[in-house]
C-alpha cells in the first residue's frame, strides 16, 4: 500500500481515476488533473487537490507534476467509436499527452503507472491472451494504446524510469457513466431497468473479460510498489463471458422482461478477449476477487 506520498491521478474525476484517488486520499497527498470532458468534479474527494486542466497544457502539467512521487495516468479518450470518428483528436488526447506526461515523470524521477488496454491485441490467435501475444489493433483507439504501452516500456528501458503499463480488459463498476459511449454493462443495466429492449451488437457470441473496478484499483496499487517495472501486465479476471450471456445475466439480476434484440456489429470490435493473468499473478500478486455475478448484483443493489 502507498502511504505518505505525493500522488497525481490524471483523469481523477473519471471512472477508474476517481476510484484510485478515493482509495489513496486517506494516507497520501493526492492531486487530480482532469479537464472534466467526461469526468465529474463531484467524483473527486474533498481532500484532494484538484485542478481542471489538460495534459497538453504546460502550466497545468507543471503544477500537477511538481514534486510528485507517483503518477497514475488514467486520463484519455476511451471510446473506440469516438476514435474512429475523430482519429486525430484521439491520437493527441491519448498518445501525445502520454508522452508529455512520461517526460515529466522522468524529470521528477517519479514512478508512473499507465492505463493501457487489451484492445491492442485485436483478434487473438487463441485465448487466454498472454502479454507477448501478437498485437493487431483494429481502431485508432487501439493503435493509440499500443503506442502508449510501448512508449511507457521504452522510457523504462532508456531512462531507467519506474514505469508500468497495465492492459485493462473490460472494466465495470459503480460510477461508470451511461450515454452513447458507455460500457456495455452500464448500457445493458440502463436498458433492463427501463424495461426496454437490451441491444446486442452482432450475434452476441463475442466474448469479453469483465473486471470490476475495485480489482483494477488493486492492480494499480500493486504496480506502484512492485520491483518488476518496465513490463506490461494484463488486468482482467481470466474468465470470458459472451455478450449474449451478459445480456441474459443482466436481465436476470434486474428481474426484467426486456427483450434481447440484435443490431449490426460495430467497427473496431474484436471477436474474443480473455486475459492470461500468469504474469500479473506472479509478479504483482494480483488476485481478482469480484465475480461478474457478484459485481452485477452489487451494482443493482447500489453497493461497492
Catalytic residues: 141
Element containing residue 210 per DSSP (H, E): strand 210-212
Burial, 297: exposed, middle or buried (Cβ in 10 Å; 0-12, 13-18, 19+)? middle
- CB-based contact 288:241 (threshold 8 Å): no
Angle at 55 between CA 52 and CA 59, to 5 degrees: 70
* C-alpha cell at position 95: 498518445
CB atoms within 10 A of CB 111: 23
Q: Where are the alpha helices (DSSP H) in the chain?
A: 15-24, 58-65, 80-85, 87-91, 97-108, 140-159, 184-194, 213-223, 243-254, 278-283, 292-301
Which residues make Cβ contacts (< 8 Å) with residue 105, sequence separation at least 6? 65, 71, 111, 112, 155, 161, 163
Q: Which helix (H) or strand (E) covers residue 6, if one does? A: strand 6-10
> How far is the C-alpha of 92 from the C-alpha of 97, rounded, in Å?
6
Written as one string, the DSSP assignment of 92-150 is: IIIIIHHHHHHHHHHHHT-EEEEEEEGGGG-S-SSSSBPTTSPP---SHHHHHHHHHHH
In which residue are the cell numbers 503518477 written? 71
Cell numbers of 83, please?
Answer: 476514435
Judge contact between 53 and 100, C-beta under 8 A.
no
Amino acid at each position: 500500500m502507498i502511504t505518505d506520498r505525493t500522488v497525481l491521478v490524471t483523469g481523477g474525476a473519471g471512472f477508474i481515476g476517481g476510484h484510485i484517488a478515493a482509495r489513496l486520499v486517506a494516507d497520501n497527498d493526492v492531486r487530480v488533473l482532469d479537464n472534466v470532458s467526461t469526468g465529474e468534479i463531484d467524483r473527486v474527494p474533498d481532500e484532494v487537490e484538484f485542478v481542471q486542466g489538460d495534459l497538453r497544457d504546460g502550466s497545468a502539467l507543471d503544477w500537477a507534476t511538481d514534486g510528485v512521487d507517483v503518477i497514475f495516468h488514467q486520463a484519455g479518450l476511451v471510446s473506440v467509436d469516438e476514435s474512429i470518428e475523430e482519429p486525430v483528436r484521439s491520437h493527441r488526447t491519448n498518445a501525445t499527452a502520454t508522452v508529455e506526461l512520461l517526460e515529466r515523470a522522468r524529470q521528477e524521477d517519479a514512478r508512473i503507472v499507465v492505463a493501457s488496454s487489451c484492445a491492442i491485441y485485436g483478434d487473438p490467435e487463441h485465448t487466454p491472451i498472454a502479454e507477448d501475444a501478437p498485437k493487431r489493433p483494429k481502431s485508432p483507439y487501439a493503435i493509440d494504446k499500443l503506442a502508449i504501452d510501448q512508449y511507457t516500456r521504452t522510457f523504462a528501458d532508456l531512462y531507467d524510469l519506474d514505469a508500468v503499463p497495465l492492459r485493462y480488459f473490460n472494466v465495470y463498476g459503480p460510477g461508470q457513466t451511461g450515454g452513447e459511449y458507455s460500457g456495455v454493462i452500464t448500457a445493458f443495466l440502463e436498458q433492463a431497468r427501463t424495461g426496454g429492449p437490451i441491444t446486442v451488437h452482432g450475434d452476441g457470441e463475442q466474448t469479453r473479460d469483465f473486471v470490476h473496478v475495485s480489482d483494477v484499483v488493486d492492480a494499480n496499487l500493486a504496480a506502484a510498489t512492485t520491483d518488476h517495472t518496465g513490463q506490461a501486465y494484463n488486468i482482467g479476471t481470466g474468465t470470458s463471458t459472451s455478450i449474449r450471456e451478459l445480456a441474459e445475466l443482466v436481465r436476470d439480476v434486474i428481474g426484467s422482461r426486456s427483450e434481447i434484440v440484435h443490431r449490426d456489429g460495430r467497427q473496431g470490435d474484436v471477436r474474443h478477449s480473455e486475459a492470461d493473468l500468469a504474469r500479473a499473478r506472479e509478479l504483482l500478486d494480483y488476485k481478482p476477487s469480484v465475480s461478474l455475478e457478484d459485481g452485477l448484483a452489487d451494482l443493482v443493489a447500489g453497493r461497492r
